[in-house]
Amino acid sequence: MSEQFAAVEIIAAKRDRNELTDPQIDWVIDAYTRGAVADEQMSALLMAILLNGMNMREISRWTDAMIKSGQRMDWSMLSRPTVDKHSTGGVGDKITLPLAPLVAACGGAVPQLSGRGLGHTGGTLDKLESIPGWRASLSNAEMLDVIEKCGAVICAAGPGLAPADKKLYALRDVTSTVEAIPLIASSIMSKKIAEGTSALVLDVKTGNGAFMSDPAKARELAQVMVELGVRAGVTTRALVTAMDVPLGLTAGNALEVRESVEVLAGGGPADVVELTILLAREMLDAAKINPLHDPADALKNGAAMDSWRQMISAQGGNPEAPLPVAKHQHQITATESGEIVEMNALAVGVSAWRLGAGRERLGEPVQAGAGIEIHAKPGEKITAGQPLFTLHTDEPIRFDRAIEALNDCVRISSTGEQVARLPLVLEKITG
């Protein structure tokens, strides 16, 4: 077939800092998805976008073209309003696990289509797959069935959802164009809008362990994504939250599931509990749900735990089964006494990844039991010889490089120095 445009002209337009027209954007996304635009041509266009940016109209149209490359989910037959949450990811960010059943227990329907981890940030599906029997891949009919019965489903997005994004995501990864805000925002929001939820809360992480380490850039990304959601008719709001230290006391798949279950049982680390409750309240408010319980009460009275067990069982998992434990452990202790004033989240994430909790390339297996337990965090006093971290892996050969990643990760002071930490929530952005 003869093509409406030439890819080289569109590349040149963006190279020369011109705006792309709506028809140009529609064509280039469609043509790339069906193979009429080559990878090297799209690579050049992505680099031009990274260097020269896009305005809001261009980003919105680019997002819409990616949504139109596939199917849209429809939840209109459900008996409760739908609301979802997306996190840009970080170290120890297991919030989706307790949050989805918590919001379900309060009266929402949560269609959480999640992904796998790459690099130092863990993937929700990898975590849940450490539960014996649990299945990530469900048909659309199975998804509907689970969400109607349980109020929440956490599963893999099908191949029909924004297929253009799948191709572009892989290309951005190998062409050093991941960081472009128009491309990040359109990638996340094309999938979330195609997912068909009526309301969406975004958790945009910032700090050294986050994808967007600079708070100003995180704010910009949050604002662009909220605007994209609103333009698409989805009630969207965003919280910019801290990822300068790991979230909770674990990083690694089964370790994070265990911690999530502690939160659902009414315990767990204070920062995980606080953020889970905060996001649950935002989700219920965004979807205009009159809650059956306040989220804090639903964690205490067992309602959220009941939803979790139902949801895990409905996807073939055994919520009572013991979680996998790594074959080998190694403890790192404090070399001096004082107060912990700094802990580098990125270093903890890289160490957990080197232990086998994460993957270097898409499709690689991960170890269910690998990861790190954190015994003390910034603001806490510690004595020389006390445990700081316990490292877990099935392959002891991995310990050396994991320990190396933690060199200078923690700073201990005995001079009364102030702990430098970001507040848990830096900003809230509403559409």
Single out the catalytic residue among 94, 120, 167, 172.
Answer: 172
Single out the catalytic residue among 60, 130, 187, 190.
Answer: 187
Q: Is 72 designated active site? A: no
Spell out where 350-419 has E strands. 371-374, 381-382, 387-393, 410-413
The DSSP bridge partners found for residue 155 are: 113
Helix (H) / strand (E) element for 204: namely strand 199-206
In Å, how far are 10, 220, 242, 350 from 190, measured between CA atoms? 22, 18, 25, 29
Q: Is 86 designated active site? A: yes
Q: Is 328 designated active site? A: no
Q: Residues 46, 48, 53, 56: is their CA dihedral positive or negative?
A: negative
Residues 6+ apart with CB under 8 A from 6: none
- Could you give the CA distance from residue 391 to residue 398 in angstroms, rounded to a whole number? 10
Rounded to 10 deg, the angle between the 253-264 and 303-314 helix axes is 140
The DSSP bridge partners found for residue 413 are: 339
Q: Is 392 designated active site? A: no
Q: Is 172 designated active site? A: yes
Single out the catalytic residue among 85, 127, 166, 191.
Answer: 191
Helix (H) / strand (E) element for 200: namely strand 199-206
3-state helix, strand, coil in the chain (%, to 5): 45, 15, 40
DSSP count for the chain of H helices, then E strands: 16, 13
- Could you give the CA distance from residue 244 to residue 347 in angstroms, rounded to a whole number? 11
Single out the catalytic residue among 26, 84, 126, 165.
Answer: 165
Name the residues annotated as catalytic: 86, 165, 172, 187, 191
